[in-house]
Amino acid sequence: MFLEANLLQTEGGKENTNFSRPKFELSKTFFRSDSIAKTPLLKIGIYGERERNQRRIANSDTLNASSFWYDIGRVYLLLPDSTKTWQWGGSLQQRNDYAPTAAQFQQNTQAREANINGHWKPTRKSNGNNSQLLWNLSWRNLNLIDSSLTTQKPLTSYLGRVDFSQTAWKTHFPLPPVMKSGPGKVRKFNSIT
């Protein structure tokens, strides 16, 4: 279990602020029953985070336009056995964003994401040659809850990246990638307005 909380409150001549960022993670690792060394087999968990930054002009209850608030919730699954050639992971995540409207926040967007990732790292060969294959595949869906509070458009995107690398002669010489593919230049999307 992991818990963390960051809090900051200021009162100044021009601005009053109230910042909070609690985080938590709760996970359970299952181990192989036939292993003396307690080899991990599967890890499942849930993660949550909230960041809320309220900025107000001194002696006013109106939120500054630079104020923001978001909530993130994620469930995940990992196959963390580092002695294995193959490793897999996956997660489902939802992020809710809120925009300042006068004295309060109002939800403006909701983003959902599914992710699968992993790698293949064969046993190192005696001649020092080594190779690995890494992948990360994601699906994201951005929904607008209140389009008057954001300039963004609804968006569904699919992203993927696959990297293959290898080295020769005891890892001193990286060889050029045999295969490398991905979305290329990716536009950055920010769901905070």
Examine residue 192 and state whether it is found in any structural domain, yes or no: no
Q: How confident is the model at residue 174 (pLDDT cuts 50, 70, 90)?
A: low
Q: Give the integer Cα–Cα distance in Å for 138 and 156.
A: 11
pLDDT at 102: 87
Instruction: Supply the pTM of this predicted model.
Output: 0.78
- Stretch (H or E) spanning 79: none
Examine residue 193 and state whether it is found in any structural domain, yes or no: no
Q: Give the integer Cα–Cα distance in Å for 32 and 9.
A: 47
Examine residue 156 and state whether it is found in any structural domain, yes or no: yes
Q: Give the integer Cα–Cα distance in Å for 162 and 119.
A: 9
Q: What are the pLDDT digits (tens) for 144-162?
A: 999 999 899 999 999 888 8
Examine residue 33 and state whether it is found in any structural domain, yes or no: yes
Q: What are the pLDDT digits (tens) for 75-114?
A: 999 997 666 788 899 999 999 999 999 889 999 999 999 9
Q: How confident is the model at residue 126 (pLDDT cuts 50, 70, 90)?
A: low
Examine residue 190 and state whether it is found in any structural domain, yes or no: no
Q: How far is residue 180 CA from its own chain's centroid?
A: 23
Domain count, the chain: 1
Tokens 């080899």 belong to 39
- Domain of 103 in residue numbering reads as 2-181
